[in-house]
Every structure is written in C-alpha cells, then in structure tokens.
Amino acid sequence: VFQRWFLYPPDKTPHFHPNETTLAWLHRTYPTLPRAERPLECTLRPGEVLYFPDRWWHATLNLDTSVFISTFLG
C-alpha cells in the first residue's frame, strides 16, 4: 500500500481546490505550478508513518487500496 503526500507549511497557501480530488489536482493544477510553488512531497510505503506539524496543509493520493488513521494531538 503506497500513499503519496503533498504538504505545504502554514505560511504558504496551497493551490488545492476543496471540490477537486487529489488526482484531478495532480493532473490539472500540479503541472502548471512553478517549482517554487510546488508542495513538499513524499511517498509512504507499507509500515511507514508520517508526522507533520499542526496547521500544515496536506493532500493525499492513495496509490493502492489502503486504510489510514488520522488523529489530532493536543
């Protein structure tokens, strides 16, 4: 199970549209972004965990059938 993550720090406004899937965004918007405006990216593999700080913008793309758990720590 692989999952691709796209992350922006709180001080950068992402180019995500709330009514668009991550896959549609990846095909339509991502290729038009200048390199300086692209998000940080990583691909998680089975058994890996990603932690990112509070208030970071994020989008995910499941590259396979997957289950994920999200929690807010506070």
User: Residue 35 is part of which domain span?
Assistant: 3-62
**Looking at the domain assignment, is residue 71 inside a domain?**
no
**Looking at the domain assignment, is residue 43 inside a domain?**
yes
pLDDT, tens digit, for every residue of 6-21?
Answer: 999 999 988 888 788 8
**Looking at the domain assignment, is residue 67 inside a domain?**
no
**Looking at the domain assignment, is residue 68 inside a domain?**
no
Q: How many domains does the chain have?
A: 1
**Looking at the domain assignment, is residue 35 inside a domain?**
yes
The larger pLDDT score, comparing residue 1 to residue 22, is at: 22
> DSSP readout, 1-67?
--EEEEEE-TTS-----TTS-HHHHHHHTGGGS-GGGSPEEEEE-TT------TT-EEEEEESSS--
**Looking at the domain assignment, is residue 41 inside a domain?**
yes
pLDDT, tens digit, for every residue of 49-69?
Answer: 899 888 999 999 988 876 766
pLDDT, tens digit, for every residue of 18-45?
Answer: 788 889 999 999 999 999 999 999 999 8
**Looking at the domain assignment, is residue 8 inside a domain?**
yes
pTM score, two decimals? 0.81
